[in-house]
Structure 1
Amino acid sequence: MSAADTKAVGPPVPVPPDPQPTGKSSSDDAPRVQKRKRKKGELLPYFLILPAIVAIAAVYLYPLSKTVIMSFQDMGRRELWSGEPAPWVGFEQFTNILGDPEFWWVTFRTIVFMAICVTLTMGIGLLVALLMRKLSTWVRLVLTVALIAAWSMPLMVAASIFRFMADSDYGLINTLIAKVVGEDWLGHNWYLNPVQGFGIITLLVVWGAIPFVVVTLYAALTQVPQELEEAAALDGATAYGIYKFVTWPVIKPVFTMVATLSVIWDFNVFGQIWLLRGNKPEPEYETLGLYSYSKAFESTSFSQGSAIALITVLLLSGVAVYYLRQLMKTGEVE
C-alpha cells in the first residue's frame, strides 16, 4: 500500500474499553441465596420446638425458681399460712442437711436401690429384646401387645396388684413359697425386713420399666445388618463374638441412652414406695424423694425439703449432661 493510500485511510480509530460492571452478577448472588436458605433451614427445627420449650418453661420454671429461693430461707407453717416473708438464712439449710448422718444414709440407700433396679431392668430388657429376634412374627406381636399393655397400666393399679401378691395372709408369693418349702411362709410379712421389702418394691419398679426398654432395644436391634452377622458366622465367630463385635456396636448408643434415662427415673422413685407402704412409708424405706417430702410436710420444714430437692437435682445434673452428650453423639453419627 502506498503512502497516499495510507494517508487517505487515516489513523486507526481507537476501540473504547469494555464498561466496568457497576453491580454484582447473578452468579455472585447465588452463594448468598443458598446461604440464606441454609440458615433458614437450620433455624426451622428450633422454631418447631419453640412451643414445647415455652410450655415446659411455664410448667417447670416457676416451681424450680421457688424451690431455689425457699432453700435459702427458713419457711415454716406460720410463713406459709400468713403470707409473711420468710427470713433469709443463706446456706444454713444446706449445712444442716450435709451435716446430718441420716441424709447420707438415705443417699446411700437411694444409690444402691437405683443401681439394682437399673441393672435388672437393662439386663432383663436386653435378654428379652434379643429373644424377640428369634420368635415368629405372631408370637412377637403378641409379646409386644402384652408389653405395651403392662406399660400402659396405671401405677396405682400395678401397686395394688403387687401389694396383694405380697400380702402376708392371702398373697400369691407366700402361697407359692409355702407349697414348695412348707407352711412356715404363710403369714410372712415381707415389709418387716427392709431388705425383703425393697425386694418387692424392686420387682414393681423393674416390671414397670422393662416394656419400654424391650421395645426400644428391639427397635435398635432391627437396625443391625443381618448380612454382617451371617458373614461373621461363616467366618467361624461364636454367638458371643457376633454379639460383641457386630450387634453391640450398633445398639450401644441406644442402650446407653435408655440406661441413662433409667438412672434418672429410678433415682427419683416415689410413687411405688409410697403406695406399697400404704401412703406412710417408714424411715427405713425413705429414698431422697420421700426424705424431702417427709422433711417438708411432716416436719413442716419446707425450706429444708426444698434444699434436699435442690441437692437431688444437682446430683442428677451430671447424669442429665451425660445423657445430652450421648444424644448429640448419636445425631453426629447419623
Structure 2
Amino acid sequence: MTASAPPRAASAPPAKRRQPIAPYLLIAPAIGILLVALAYPVGWQFVTSVHTYGLAQQFGQPPVFVGPANYARLFTDPAVWSVVLRSLVFCLVNAAITVVVGVLLALLMKVVPAAPRLILQIALLLAWAMPVIAAMTVWIWLFDWRRGVINWLLTSAGFGFTHHNWLAEPLSFYLVATIIVVWMSVPFVAFSVYAGLTQISEEVIEAAQLDGAGGVGRFIWITVPMIRPVLMIVMLLQIIWDLRVFAQIKMLQDADAPISSTDLLGTYIYRVGVGSSDFGMASALSVFVLALTIVLSSFYVRQLIKEDS
C-alpha cells in the first residue's frame, strides 16, 4: 500500500504592493503653503459674497447678511451674462490662437540652424520679460488713432485708415486686445512645446520617414501624441490666464474705449467692486469666476490624469 502524498499548502495571496510615501511627504509642504495662502482670500470672498459690503462698511458699519441675494442678482442680470459670454469667447479664441502660434514657433526653432534659433529665442524672451505696463504703453501708442504707427503704415499702403480709432468699436477693440494678449503669451507656449520637441527621439522620426510618412503625417501621428501632455498643460494654463485677463483690457479701456461694451470678467468685477463700492456683488462674481475656471479646467485635468495613468 503506497503512502498518500502530503496535502499541498494553500497558496498565500500575493502581497499588496506598498505605496511609497516619500512623494506624498515631498509634496505635502507645497500643498500646505497653497492651502494657507488661498484659504483666507477665498474664504473672505465667499463670506463677503453673502453680505452687503459697500462704502458704509468701509467706514465701520457692520456688513448686513443677505444670504444668496447677491448670487440671485448675478444669475438674473442680463448684463452679467453678456460679460460672461464675451469673456468665454475671448478666452477660448485667444487660448487657441496662442497655442497654435506657439507650436508653429516651436517647430520653427526645431528646424532652423543655431544662429537664427538663438535670435528667435532672445526675441521671445524679451517679449515675455517686458513688464505689462511698459508693453501696453507701446501698444497703445502703436494703435493710437491720431499719431499711431499702425494707421500710418496702413494709410501709406493705400488703405483708408487715417485717424481710424481702433478702440472705438468692440470688434476692433477685441482684435487689438487679442494681438496684445497673444503676443505676451506666445513665448511661454513656444518654449514649453520646444522643450517637449527636444525630448522626441530622432530614431522614431527617422523610422516613420523610412516608412513613407510625410512631414504632416509625422507631426500628426507621432509628434502630437508624444507632446500631448505638454500641449494639455499649456492649453489649460492659457484658458485660466485668458479668462482672468485684466491689465491689458483695463489699459485699453483707459485709452478712450467704450467701457460697457468692452468689459470682460476682470474689468467688470473691478468696476462693480472698486468703481461702485459694491464689494458683496464683486465677491459673488469672483466666486462665480472661480467656479467657472474649475469647470473649464476639469476636462483638461481629467485628461492629464488619464495620460499619467
The percent of aligned pairs where both chains have the same amino acid is 33
| 1: CA distance, partners of 2:133 / 2:104 | 28
List runs of 5+ in structure 1 lacking aligned partners: 1-30
2:116 is aligned with 1:139: yes
| 2: CA distance, partners of 1:88 / 1:180 | 61
2:104 is aligned with 1:160: no
TM-score by length of structure 1 reads 0.82
Task: Verify the 8 A CA contact 1:220 1:254 in the aligned structure 2.
Answer: yes
Question: Which structure has more helix as a fraction of its residues?
Answer: 1
| 2: CA distance, partners of 1:58 / 1:148 | 33
Q: CA deviation digits over 1:65-84, x for unaligned, max 9? A: 010011111112112221x3
What is the correspondence of 1:80-229 to structure 2 with a 5 Å cutoff? 80-82=58-60, 84-182=61-159, 184-229=160-205
One-letter amino acid of the structure 1 residue matched with residue 201 of structure 2: P
Highest relative contact order (Cα 8 Å, sep 6+), 1 or 2?
Answer: 2
Change (3 A) 1:117 1:264: same
Which residue pairs with 1:292 in the alignment? 269
2:60 is aligned with 1:76: no
Task: Verify the 8 A CA contact 1:129 1:217 in the aligned structure 2.
Answer: yes
Q: CA deviation digits over 1:7-35, x for unaligned, max 9? A: xxxxxxxxxxxxxxxxxxxxxxxx9xxx8
Whose radius of gyration is greater, 1 or 2? Answer: 1
Change (3 A) 1:280 1:291: farther
Compute the displacement of 1:51 (Å).
3.7
One-letter amino acid of the structure 1 residue matched with residue 176 of structure 2: I
TM-score by length of structure 2 reads 0.89
Which is worse superposed, 141-150 or 165-174? 141-150
Task: Verify the 8 A CA contact 2:92 2:239 in the aligned structure 1.
Answer: yes
One-letter amino acid of the structure 1 residue matched with residue 75 of structure 2: L
Which residue pairs with 1:318 in the alignment? 295
Which residue pairs with 1:67 in the alignment? 45
One-letter amino acid of the structure 2 residue matched with residue 208 of structure 1: M
| Deviation beyond 6 Å, 4+ runs, structure 1 | none
Match of 2:223 among 244, 247, 257: 247
List runs of 5+ in structure 2 lacking aligned partners: 1-14
Compute the displacement of 1:222 (Å).
1.3
One-letter amino acid of the structure 1 residue matched with residue 127 of structure 2: A
| 2: CA distance, partners of 1:189 / 1:319 | 34
